[in-house]
Amino acid sequence: MAQRSVLVVDDDAAMREMLLSLLEEHGLAAQAARSAREAVERVRETEFDAVLSDIRMPERTGLELLGELRDVRPDLPVILMTAFGSIDSAVEAMRVGAFDYITKPFKRDEVMVVLERAFSQRALEEENRRLRRAVDQTSAFGDLIGRSPAMRELFALIRKIADNRSSVLITGESGTGKELIAQLVHDESTRAPGPFIAVNCGAITESLLESELFGHARGAFTGAAQDRVGLFEAANGGSLLLDEIGDVSPGMQVKLLRALQEREIRRVGENKSRPVNVRVMSATNRELVADIAAGRFRKDLYYRLNVVQLHVPPLRNRREDILPLARVLLVDAAARLKRPVTALSPRAADQLLRYDWPGNVRELENAMERAVALGHANLVELDDLPEEVRQAIPTPSVSGPVRALDEIEKDYILAVLDLNGGNQTRTAQQLGIGSATLYRKLKSYGVVRGTRGE
């Protein structure tokens, strides 16, 4: 802990002196305050890395100090010291933002353990901010990151259409972040102060979906004990995302079409129509054109929804986005789980690029969370990745001059051998060739990769 600084807050002079001595013994820069008021003044003047405060103090308590520090420095870890009988107060403080608490009397080592955890979390937050600052502004838009040409074109289109009220159809495979795109369109528009509401249409039956979207009157059906506002009305002045629109039943498609055409809705069980001012966006991972041809989706509704189409490309088609995304997701997961993992090892990073990511960004996010949860160091190693990612081998592609077949075979064999850590027996089994054949090929390449049959 290189010159981290701590503010000790306690009205007990002996406790202050003991803690100052302890912190200085461990190479920390330490200051003391005798009251909450003095502590707030010190925090305004000095950049501390943690605050260690007693709960019971005259004038203002440690809980009141915590509330004031939340306003002054919301990212500052506050650790509270409490007597056994005040544990309930400390637990309550944790609920409202304290980093941790220590029960008196405590051992000196306990203080340092908690402080080390606070410093680790602060380091993760600093790294998170550094990484986000390091992302080129042309590569990030809201919470979305994309350096690939396809994503930059998508960002440009979002900026262009955000302020009009045209319906938007967002297409793309599962896990590509279609709801994030819809949220971004809303946030960039003049409707941003209004509500953004998303509903998964595929997860709700037709009868329930009608009530969910349009609302219902009291007594409209069994269990309708009172009037209920639907999501169209709730999103008034804002945006409504109809996710999984391709799964909506034919009957419900007719009702949606009317709502879009007339810009009004009718609650279930009512005869009067209600005007709504809402921008409707929809999202799907289905091929709606094929569904139209098969009679599963109405062509007129499709044209109403598809005034502007935003297509989110799968992650495998924009590999230059994989590592920037992975690093940000890694730091986010580390901050959530409070683990000191901040980077990818070269082998782990290379393996992420080899995998096709059929689950797209959602799968990458899960992989990074798994790596943080299972890792034992501040670096994600190859063994921390999911098995399917570890087993991935390069996908052949023709993006440049045509190469000789022998050259491609050599690169492929050496890549599989490297994936298996030099184990020739396992490599031969995976390639479907004999160990002797593999050995001869490796010898012809002039490459020594471990011992035969390792």
- Bond into 105 cis (ω within 30): yes
Burial 104-126 (b: 16+ CB within 10 A, else e): eeeeeeebbebbebbbbbbbbee
Beta strands per DSSP E along 247-334: 264-265, 274-275, 279-284, 308-311
Q: 204-219: per-residue pLDDT in tens?
A: 988 789 889 998 888 7
Q: 380-392: per-residue pLDDT in tens?
A: 888 999 999 998 8
User: Domains in the chain, ordered, with CATH?
Assistant: 5-133 (3.40.50.2300), 142-311 (3.40.50.300), 318-390 (1.10.8.60), 405-445 (1.10.10.60)
Beta strands per DSSP E along 233-392: 239-243, 264-265, 274-275, 279-284, 308-311, 343-344, 379-380
Nearest to 239 by CA among 324, 306, 179: 179
Q: 15-70: per-residue pLDDT in tens?
A: 999 999 999 998 899 999 999 999 999 999 998 999 999 988 888 888 889 888 88
Asked if pLDDT for residue 232 goes beyond 70, the answer is yes
Q: Residues 153-161: contacts with CB within 8 Å, 24+ apart?
A: 154/181, 154/310, 154/311, 154/312, 154/313, 157/308, 157/310, 158/184, 158/185, 158/188, 158/310, 159/188, 161/185, 161/308
- Reported as a pLDDT band with limits 50, 70 and 90, residue 403 is low
What per-residue confidence (pLDDT) applies to 83?
A: 74
Which secondary-structure segment (H or E) carries 101?
Answer: strand 100-104
Nearest to 364 by CA among 379, 380, 378, 340: 380
Q: 85-139: per-residue pLDDT in tens?
A: 555 666 677 776 788 888 888 888 889 988 988 888 777 777 666 655 554 444 5
In angstroms, the CA 39 to CA 45 distance is 10
